[in-house]
Amino acid sequence: IYAANHGSALDIFVVFGYLPVDFRIIYKRSLSLLPLVGWSIWLGGHIPIDRSNAFRARRSLKTAARRIQAGTSVVTFPEGTRSPDATVRLFRRGSFKLALEAGVPIVPVSLAGVKNVVPQGLGSIRPGRVWVGMAPPVPVAGRKPEDVDGLAEEVRRVVAAGCEDLTARCSSA
């Protein structure tokens, strides 16, 4: 499971362009209703999560866990929604419950510079650079289900530190 920060709608396109693995994204089911993009992600076999109903959300996560155990890599945006100011917000628990259930490590992915390229959404795209950084995988072996909050915070801190590091290194270059 790859866990990335989420500052812009462009993030999805950035991970598709730069992650060096075949993967599917986990997305909120309501995006399936969007013309073209929503339909494309649904037809592409990406994994919807129905957040409007707790029972359906749990069922969706179990389905996702089976796909991951069968070898599918997934990208999640655990903030759950885009950050308005590019700071890395609190990570929701679902991605980490999924990792614990599937028994797979989480790879922290830091996306930096995206908010500068699209400050007010995709309609405001301007030239610029974005950076993608991946930290070593965070193992879940030996962790208990009740460790989910600590795991989420550990990965959030790694992603946030990666964003700060990428921004500092790339701004001075």
pLDDT tens-place string over residues 77-134: 999 777 667 689 999 998 999 999 899 999 999 999 887 888 776 667 888 888 999 9
pTM of this structure: 0.89
Looking at per-residue pLDDT, the higher value among 74 and 10 belongs to 74
Decide if 110 contacts 3 (C-beta within 8 A): no
Residue 30's nearest CA partner among 52, 46, 5, 54 is 52
What amino acid is encoded at 28 in this protein?
K
Looking at per-residue pLDDT, the higher value among 54 and 68 belongs to 68
Give the Cα separation of 97 and 167 in Å (integer).
30
Q: Which residues contact 88 (CB under 8 A, 6 or more apart)?
A: 5, 79, 156, 159, 160, 163
Place of tokens 């920060």: 5
CA angle (69, 71, 74) in 5-degree steps:
90
pLDDT tens digit string along 6-37?
A: 888 788 889 999 998 999 988 888 777 778 87
Give the Cα separation of 75 and 16 in Å (integer).
10
pLDDT of residue 63: 84
pLDDT of residue 65: 87
